[in-house]
Structure 1
Amino acid sequence: MHYLSIISPFYNSEEKCKRLLETLMNIKDEEIEIIFVDDGSTDDTVALLTAFRSESQVEVKVIRQENKGPGGARNAGLNIAKGEYVWFVDSDDDIKLDALVYLKNIYHKGYDFVDFNYISKGSICNSMEIESDSYKDMNTNREILLAKFGRIWTKIFKKDFLIKNNIYYPEYCIYEDNPLVFIYPFLCSKFLKSDIVGYIHHEEYSSITRCNPSPIFLDRLFTSVYGIREGYKLTSDINDISILQSKFNRLYLINTVGALMTKRPSKNWVMTYRVMKQYRKVAKDLKIEKGFREDLGENKKFKVYFLFHWYLSFLVFKDQTDFFEKERYKAWQKPFPENTTLSDKL
């Protein structure tokens, strides 16, 4: 009997995973299992994980698969997990073992998830920005989680809650967490916000989401579309739909433009116009009625920058769908399952 399965995806993580492995090696509770999923690494990551398995005092499973992205790795781990709860931990981050003791004392209460505080850049953060307490009213929970779901990796989820609701990560993409903020708020009947620190987020290693934009960076667009389509299936409430559309506007359009922002003319400006052009098409297809202007934030410089480029983007006349399809195919360098592209599936 396991009360927790820790699931970690690895992709060429030989250098950046050692800190997490050192922490996990200190786990001695046999009611915890550890699942490592190597997502097509070409370095010596697998050798490290295999050595860890031979030395660990708890059950360790090592899965090897072709590169499907972190979502595909997490799904593979979830499918074989035996724990009552699952915790998806990134290989370049770390956890606090106190969180495991805390969970063991309360997991029998059956919360859909337990959320911990985390440390980032030396500061303790509460990503949900709510008081530590148990939340058991589904209507109130929906309002809270729609307003601020917080970080996915600070949460330990009840496995049956995920399986029952068919909650899996989109595969062959990064930004795989983005769709879940459209989905979870409508399904959580009770959750616990803890006041202890459980997760340590590190940023010293390079990351696709923190580097200069590349073709794979554009996955943020496709996962946003996936998310709002799934959210639409779960509600017909006008206010809920308006909130989902605001989330979509921020994730697809505003945050992407912000990530591409440069002071001087650059290739990023061209990509910005492509994104804005495609947004108008996708927003029409998805019946996005919520305007994006009120979601631009309070930064006046960004507002001016955004609107300046928004009007210039109308000079882009060609439909950009084919461009983004080709970029995604190039990014993942392989055909997608069932002979279709991910964007077709989304």
Structure 2
Amino acid sequence: MTSSTRADDRPVITFIIPAYNMADHLDTCLNSLLSQAAEDLEIIVVDDGSTDDTAKLSHDYEVRHPGIVRLIKQENKGHGGAVNAGLSQAQGLYVKVVDADDWVDTDSLGLVLDRLRTQATSSHPVDMVVTNYVYEKEGRHHKQVINFRSVMPSDRVLDWNHLGRFGMAQYMIMHALIFRREVLQRAATHLPEHTYYVDFIYSYQPLPYVTSLMYLDTDFYRYHTGREGQSVQTSVMVSRVDQLLRVNGLMVEATPEPGQVSDGLYRYMIHYLAINCVVTSVFLILSKDPQNYQNKDMLWSRLEDHSPAISHDVRSTLLCKLINMPGRPGRVAIRLGYRVAEAAVGFN
């Protein structure tokens, strides 16, 4: 189905590509998105003040694919500021953020576009589409796939109460999500500028505005990890624990009290908030800085001060019980557990 057969001429999806000095990777990303030769999609590359050839390369694609690829140039505002710029210009029924050093599976793209086109003809298109994502770690032959088939049936319209319980390694990060643009507008989604790890906020803050979702059991998003200097590299995350703390605070503020949303949504948001609290706590511990040990205690105290009910539910999860093992033995166990988990999954 092409754009001319739909009720209007807006794209079925807008892909937003935040790009800062990504000239060495952008070809792979853009070529994957253009692989289906579809006319009913929009690709917005946001050049976030790059000093390399990112803008030139993006402009070349804009010239070769008029009406599909569009370049936005702005002064550097960070990943969140680039996503904001893309959202402000997006015209698609759906929106997906694709980082410039990542890519999508070309066969899977065809399936995703087909399902979105079907939704575009519906009087009640789903608010969110979930797909699998793959850790494409450099130098690793076996790639870890995060799927959700144990949590929700594929290719069906669902609400939050249809979802099962998520495992410890199952959470819907930005790379798994496609939002209906209207949902992001109603949620007034606006990410903080010059802040790392805002993908946590993007995949969390809009959730109370999602009433229907669909899971597609396909390995769509390819998450490139293991690159030197990448924001998710362990040493880099340790050096930016202040950013993790800021993001954690914003997620806590975005968390509804029990009873304000459906039980299924609340249960998932507690699960995801618990994971973020654990991730932040882990990197505070990995820093081996006594001040950060105090910051970890403050994180949990602030959660309690914000909402005793939410704090109780987060602390009751297994991961949070483990992360709060006391003293030096607890910190040693956390560092060992992190090394084992990283070796198994390859997320950094």
- For the criterion TM > 0.5, the same-fold answer is yes
Whether 2:86 is the aligned partner of 1:65: answer: no
- Cα deviations by residue, 1:236-270 (Å, 9 ceiling, x for unpaired): 47978787566545423x322323445xxxx5332
Q: Could you say if the C-alpha distance between residues 258 and 100 of structure 1 is closer, same or farther in structure 2, counting changes exceeding 3 Å? A: same
Q: Give the aligned partner of residue 50 of structure 2.
A: 41
Q: Could you say if the C-alpha distance between residues 281 and 9 of structure 1 is closer, same or farther in structure 2, counting changes exceeding 3 Å? A: same
| Cα displacement (A) at 1:64 | 1.3
Contact 1:39 1:68 in 2 (8 A): yes
Q: Could you say if the C-alpha distance between residues 118 and 137 of structure 1 is closer, same or farther in structure 2, counting changes exceeding 3 Å? A: closer
Q: Give the aligned partner of residue 113 of structure 1.
A: 128
Q: Give the aligned partner of residue 168 of structure 1.
A: 190
Whether 2:326 is the aligned partner of 1:307: answer: yes
| Cα displacement (A) at 1:93 | 0.8
Partners in 2 of 1:260 and 1:204 — Cα distance?
A: 21
- Indicate the larger mover: 142-151 or 162-171: 142-151
- Indicate the larger mover: 210-219 or 65-74: 210-219
Partners in 2 of 1:28 and 1:257 — Cα distance?
A: 44
| Cα displacement (A) at 1:194 | 1.0
- Cα deviations by residue, 1:33-79 (Å, 9 ceiling, x for unpaired): 11000112222211111122122265221111222221221111111
Contact 1:246 1:292 in 2 (8 A): yes
- Indicate the larger mover: 243-252 or 27-36: 243-252
Q: Give the aligned partner of residue 179 of structure 2.
A: 157
Whether 2:230 is the aligned partner of 1:211: answer: no
- Indicate the larger mover: 208-217 or 113-122: 208-217
| Cα displacement (A) at 1:90 | 1.0
Whether 2:212 is the aligned partner of 1:190: answer: yes
The one-letter amino acid paired with 1:92 is D
- Indicate the larger mover: 2-11 or 273-282: 273-282
Whether 2:113 is the aligned partner of 1:100: answer: yes
Partners in 2 of 1:268 and 1:276 — Cα distance?
A: 12
Partners in 1 of 2:261 and 2:29 — Cα distance?
A: 42
| Cα displacement (A) at 1:295 | 3.6
Q: Give the aligned partner of residue 17 of structure 1.
A: 26
Q: Could you say if the C-alpha distance between residues 287 and 113 of structure 1 is closer, same or farther in structure 2, counting changes exceeding 3 Å? A: closer
Q: Give the aligned partner of residue 257 of structure 1.
A: 281
Q: Give the aligned partner of residue 146 of structure 2.
A: 125
Q: Give the aligned partner of residue 254 of structure 2.
A: 230
Partners in 1 of 2:16 and 2:162 — Cα distance?
A: 26
Structure 1 stretches lacking a partner, 5+ long: 313-346
Aligned residues: 303
RMSD (Å) for aligned C-alpha atoms: 3.5
Partners in 2 of 1:220 and 1:76 — Cα distance?
A: 22
Partners in 2 of 1:181 and 1:25 — Cα distance?
A: 25
Contact 1:32 1:83 in 2 (8 A): yes
The one-letter amino acid paired with 1:193 is Y
Partners in 1 of 2:165 and 2:70 — Cα distance?
A: 36
Partners in 1 of 2:219 and 2:314 — Cα distance?
A: 35
- Cα deviations by residue, 1:79-128 (Å, 9 ceiling, x for unpaired): 11111111111111111332323422333331101112223343443157
Partners in 2 of 1:224 and 1:281 — Cα distance?
A: 13
- Indicate the larger mover: 54-63 or 40-49: 54-63
The one-letter amino acid paired with 2:281 is V
Contact 2:284 2:296 in 1 (8 A): no
Q: Could you say if the C-alpha distance between residues 201 and 245 of structure 1 is closer, same or farther in structure 2, counting changes exceeding 3 Å? A: closer
Whether 2:312 is the aligned partner of 1:290: answer: yes
Q: Give the aligned partner of residue 177 of structure 1.
A: 199
- Indicate the larger mover: 179-188 or 219-228: 179-188
Contact 2:183 2:206 in 1 (8 A): no
Contact 1:173 1:216 in 2 (8 A): no
Q: Give the aligned partner of residue 79 of structure 1.
A: 88
Structure 2 stretches lacking a partner, 5+ long: 1-8, 137-142, 332-348
The one-letter amino acid paired with 2:152 is I
Partners in 2 of 1:145 and 1:103 — Cα distance?
A: 25
| Cα displacement (A) at 1:143 | 7.8
- Indicate the larger mover: 57-66 or 238-247: 238-247
Contact 2:258 2:266 in 1 (8 A): no
Q: Map of 1:301-340 to 2, 5 A cutoff?
A: 306-309=325-328
Partners in 1 of 2:153 and 2:319 — Cα distance?
A: 25
Contact 2:131 2:218 in 1 (8 A): yes
